[in-house]
Structure 1
Amino acid sequence: MEQKKLPNVTIGLVLGIISFFCCCLSSGIGGILMSGIAFFLLKKDERTYSENPEEYTNFSQLKTAKVIAIVGLILGVLTLIWTIYSIQKMGGIDAYMQQVQEAMEQFGIEE
């Protein structure tokens, strides 16, 4: 019988890699979302593989993608916690927005 590839492994791998960038660019929320979606898709493929393991060839890629998604999730959570801590330390969201506004004015960026 011809062996197939698991359907969501490549998508899970790409989403896991994107979660690294998103966790830094979106205060952790994007990383959590992307890696969460990747983890969900990979768990689905893991169940598919466990039902009929001799039918699929790319289980090692699934394990790699799962590790990347977990690392992206951890980085996203840590970044989100750091962001919340930083905003709280600055005196709340209003003080944070005031500092952002001042920084934008310094660089000549206006709304």
Structure 2
Amino acid sequence: MENLYNKSMEQQKLPNATLILVFGILSIVSCCCYGIIGLVFGVIGLILANKATKIYAQDPDLFTGINNIKLGKTLSIIGIVLNVLVAIFFIWIISIIGWDALQNEELMRERMEEYFQNMQ
């Protein structure tokens, strides 16, 4: 029993475990911001998760919090994929209606109607 108590006292939390989890969540939540902000959060979360995983792999008995690292890494990957898809979607929309139409609702409506009429 004493050995278990000493072992738990020696364990440290992995660096940035909570931050990695927060970055993973933020990368998914902020995917509606044209795919740029969420992409930044996802990449930073993934980089930090890889560093923490390497630290954990050196001595697994010394650290706790690997579950947060794994979950944050998974969320960061999902966030990166979502943000890339959103960025591609916005690039596609801009290529169809043009940058100037994003600021003018009437022009946007006209160009969208033209696009859908040409599809038929």
1:93 partnered with 2:99: yes
Amino acid at match of 1:93: W
Shift of 1:102: 7.8
- Alpha-carbon separation, structure 1, partners of 2:48 and 2:82: 19
- Alpha-carbon separation, structure 2, partners of 1:49 and 1:101: 55
Retained in 1: the 8 A contact 2:27–2:42? yes
- Alpha-carbon separation, structure 2, partners of 1:100 and 1:61: 47
- Alpha-carbon separation, structure 1, partners of 2:29 and 2:107: 25
Aligned to 2:81: 74
RMSD: 2.0
Cα distance change, pair 34–86 in 1 and its aligned pair in 2 (3 A): same
1:31 partnered with 2:38: yes
Q: Extract unaligned runs of 5+ from structure 2.
A: 1-6, 110-120
1:51 partnered with 2:58: yes
* TM score, norm. by length of structure 2: 0.76
- Cα displacement string for residues 22-58 of structure 1 (whole angstroms, at most 9, x for unaligned residues): 111x210011001111111111101111111111121
* TM score, norm. by length of structure 1: 0.81
1:19 partnered with 2:27: yes
- Alpha-carbon separation, structure 2, partners of 1:10 and 1:18: 12
Amino acid at match of 2:67: S
Larger radius of gyration: 2
How many pairs were matched up?
A: 101
Q: Extract unaligned runs of 5+ from structure 1.
A: 104-111
